[in-house]
Structure formats: structure tokens, C-alpha cells
């Protein structure tokens, strides 16, 4: 599997990259080993952000490969920020109406509403990351049919 950092012109393996480095990279999936490495990268809390993905597989049409590349990149880069922001605003609106924050503002009410909305937003973010992780895992498992393994089964 080749991973190319965007800030440098050299190719480096993922094992050589620092796990805390958050630079965007390009991922090439050309073999069953590359696919297994991509599945290993699918962590639901510390996923490696990708600039792009290239899929080359026998039996996969080029237009289908481009569509899968786009979907994989979107799932790898999914952080749940949009859904979290909407959940925070919706929770602020609901809790604000319940506690009359908008008609009779008090700092005490705001001190109750803000943490409650933040907790709701955090729970939504965790749920979105989990669902994204499962979708990415399912898609990577489905890609196995295009990459036959070369190892012999155990007896």
C-alpha cells in the first residue's frame, strides 16, 4: 500500500508515519494486502484523513472504481461535525424553549442549557462516528471479492 503525504513528494508506508500526524494522505488499494491495511486504518475515533483514494482491481469497471473511491474518501474523512452542529443548535432551541431562555433570560438558565446541549451534541457525534465506521467497514469488506488472497487455507 502506498501512502503519499501531500506536504512532501516522497512515498512512505503508514507504519513509518507517526500515528499522531494528521496530514492528509493518498491511499492506493491494489491488492488484498492493501485492502487489509485500509481495513486496519478504519478506527472509529482516530481515522486517518485522506486526500484521495485510488482503487485498481480486476473485474471492477473504471467508473465503478471512481464512484467507490469517492465514497471511501467521504467515509474515511467523515468527522460528524455538520450533524454535531445541527444537534447542538436543535438542543439549544429545544432546551431554550423548555426553560424559557429566550423570553426570560437568566445566566442560571443558560448555565443549565449549554451543558445539556453540549452533551446531546457529543452523543450525536459519537453516534455519527460509529455509524460511519460501520459503513466504511462494510464497504471495505464488500471490496474483498475483487482482491483474491494468494495464501493457502490452513488444513
Mean pLDDT of each 10-residue bin along the chain, 155 residues long: 45 44 78 92 84 91 94 92 96 90 86 95 96 95 85 53
Q: Is residue 90 part of a domain?
A: yes
Phi-psi region of 100 (alpha: psi -120 to 50; beta: other; left: phi over 0): left
Report the pLDDT value the prediction gives residue 99, as an integer from 0 to 100. 85
pLDDT score, position 74: 94
Is 77 part of any domain? yes
Look at residue 152 and tell me if it is in a domain: no
Query: pTM value?
Result: 0.74
> What is the total count of domains within the chain?
1
- Which helix (DSSP H) or strand (DSSP E) does residue 10 occupy? none
155 lies in some domain:
no
Q: What are phi and psi of 26, to 5 degrees?
A: -110, 135
Q: What's the pLDDT score for residue 55? A: 94
Whole-number Å distance between alpha carbons of 125 and 119: 10
The whole-angstrom separation of Cα 87 and Cα 96 is: 14
User: What angle (nearest 5°) sits at the alpha carbon of residue 110, between those of residues 106 and 116?
Assistant: 150
Domain span holding position 79: 3-146
Under DSSP, is residue 14 helix (H, G, I), strand (E, B) or coil?
coil
pLDDT recorded at residue 23: 65
pLDDT value for 14: 46
- Whole-number pLDDT of residue 15: 42
Asked if the structure places residue 84 within a domain, the reply is: yes
Cβ atoms < 10 Å from Cβ of 151: 6
Amino acid at each position: 500500500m502506498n501512502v503519499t503525504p501531500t506536504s512532501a513528494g516522497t512515498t512512505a508506508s503508514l507504519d513509518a508515519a507517526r500515528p499522531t500526524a494528521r496530514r492528509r494522505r493518498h491511499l492506493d488499494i491494489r491488492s488484498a494486502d492493501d485492502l487489509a491495511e485500509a481495513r486496519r486504518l478504519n478506527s472509529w475515533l482516530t481515522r486517518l484523513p485522506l486526500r484521495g483514494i485510488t482503487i485498481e482491481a480486476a473485474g471492477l469497471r473504471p467508473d465503478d472504481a471512481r464512484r467507490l473511491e469517492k465514497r471511501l474518501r467521504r467515509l474515511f474523512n467523515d468527522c460528524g461535525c455538520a450533524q454535531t452542529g445541527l444537534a447542538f443548535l436543535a438542543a439549544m432551541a429545544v432546551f431554550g424553549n423548555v426553560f424559557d431562555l429566550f423570553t426570560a433570560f437568566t445566566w442560571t438558565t443558560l448555565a443549565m442549557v449549554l451543558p445539556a446541549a453540549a452533551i446531546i451534541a457529543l452523543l450525536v457525534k459519537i453516534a455519527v462516528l460509529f455509524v460511519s465506521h460501520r459503513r466504511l467497514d462494510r464497504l471495505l469488506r464488500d471490496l474483498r471479492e475483487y482482491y483474491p488472497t494468494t495464501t493457502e487455507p490452513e488444513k
